[in-house]
Amino acid sequence: MSFSKHYNVGIHNVGSYQSSGWPWLTGSAIADDAEHTIQFPMVTKSITVIPSGAAGAAWTGDVVDPSIRVHFRPKAWSNGGDGTHHYITLGEADSITMNVKCSEMYITAKGTNCAYEIIAELTNIPTGSMFALTGSGHSE
């Protein structure tokens, strides 16, 4: 008896995440309350987001001005008027590294002189294999 199983890259393939990722870089300035969609060419292994706004940002109570919000659904879902806050706020001196698989993410500016830099480790998994990130912690 012969068994033939095709071993390939994919969302549930451990080997796709164990090897080092392909480096991918981007960044941009972003206007106050604008939203940028970051679409990755392949599914990510990890993502680092670094705000790179104006020097000398001032503390204004709850957040540093300028700051950016990082989220995985558009701001209509993530920063909605229904009281949901499914985002992370980063001030000028902050950064975050997330070991996550996704095909896109969003950056929203809060304040003037906002900018960001992103470095991602990409797998060799096509983005069409990635499922939509919805549900608790993303969109509800």
Hey, which bits of the chain come out as E strands? 22-30, 35-39, 42-51, 58-59, 64-65, 67-71, 88-91, 96-98, 104-110, 114-126
Domain ranges across the chain: 22-124
The top-level CATH class assigned to 22-124 is: mainly beta
60-118 pLDDT, tens digit per residue, is: 444 446 789 999 888 876 555 445 678 899 988 899 999 999 999 999 998 888 999 99
100: helix, strand or coil: coil
Give residue 5's pLDDT: 65
Confidence of residue 2 (pLDDT cuts 50, 70, 90): low
78: helix, strand or coil: helix
Cα 40 from chain centre: 9
